[in-house]
Structure 1
Amino acid sequence: MDKIHIRDLELYCKHGVYPEETFLGQKFLFDVTLYTNTRPAGLTDDLEKSINYGEISNQIKDYMSKNTYKLLEAAAENLCRELLLTTKGLEKIHLEIKKPWAPVNLPLDTVSVEIERGWHTAYIAVGANMGETEKTVQEAIKEVGTIKDTTVTKVSTLIVTKPYGGVEQDDFLNGAMEVRTLLTPEELLAELHRIEAEHGRERVLRWGPRTLDLDIIFYDDLVMDSDELTIPHIDMQNRDFVVDPMAEIAPYKRHPIYGKTMKELKGELHGELIGAAK
Structure 2
Amino acid sequence: MRAYVGLGSNLGDRTGYLLLGLSALSRLPKTRLLRLSPVYETEPIGPPQPRYLNMVAELETGLPPRVLLSEMLRIEKALGRERKERFGPRTLDLDLLLYGDLVLREEGLELPHPRLHERAFVLVPLADLLPEGRHPLLGLTFAELLQGLDPSGVRPFVL
Please, what TM-score do these two structures have when normalized by structure 2? 0.92
Counterpart residue type for residue 148 of structure 1? P
Aligned match of 1:214 = 94
Q: Does 1:150 align with 2:60?
A: no
CA deviation map 1:183-218 (0-9, x unaligned): 000000011011101100111100000110001000
Aligned match of 1:184 = 64
- Distance between the aligned counterparts of 2:115 and 2:26, measured in 1? 26
Q: Any stretches of 5+ residues in structure 1 without a counterpart? A: 1-119, 272-278
Aligned match of 2:155 = none
After TM superposition, list the pairs within 5 Å mapping 1:42-61 onto structure 2.
none
- Distance between the aligned counterparts of 1:251 and 1:127, measured in 2? 20
Q: Percent identity?
A: 38
Aligned residue among 138, 146, 150 for 1:270: 150
After TM superposition, list the pairs within 5 Å mapping 1:7-156 onto structure 2.
120-156=1-37
How many equivalent residue pairs? Answer: 151
Counterpart residue type for residue 126 of structure 2? M
Instruction: Give the CA deviation at 1:226.
Output: 1.2
Counterpart residue type for residue 16 of structure 2? K
CA deviation map 1:162-191 (0-9, x unaligned): 011x31111100000110000000000011
- Distance between the aligned counterparts of 1:162 and 1:252, measured in 2? 26
Q: Any stretches of 5+ residues in structure 2 without a counterpart? A: 152-159
Aligned match of 1:240 = 120
Instruction: Give the CA deviation at 1:270.
Output: 3.4
Counterpart residue type for residue 120 of structure 2? D
- Distance between the aligned counterparts of 1:251 and 1:223, measured in 2? 19
Instruction: Give the CA deviation at 1:154.
Output: 0.8
Aligned match of 2:133 = 253
The secondary structure found in structure 1 opposite 2:3 is strand
- Distance between the aligned counterparts of 2:8 and 2:19, measured in 1? 10
The secondary structure found in structure 2 opposite 1:201 is coil
The secondary structure found in structure 2 opposite 1:151 is strand
| Bigger RCO (CA 8 Å, 6+ sep) | 2
Counterpart residue type for residue 230 of structure 1? E
Q: Does 1:172 align with 2:52?
A: yes
Aligned match of 1:94 = none
Runs of 4+ with >3 A deviation: none
Counterpart residue type for residue 240 of structure 1? A
Counterpart residue type for residue 218 of structure 1? L
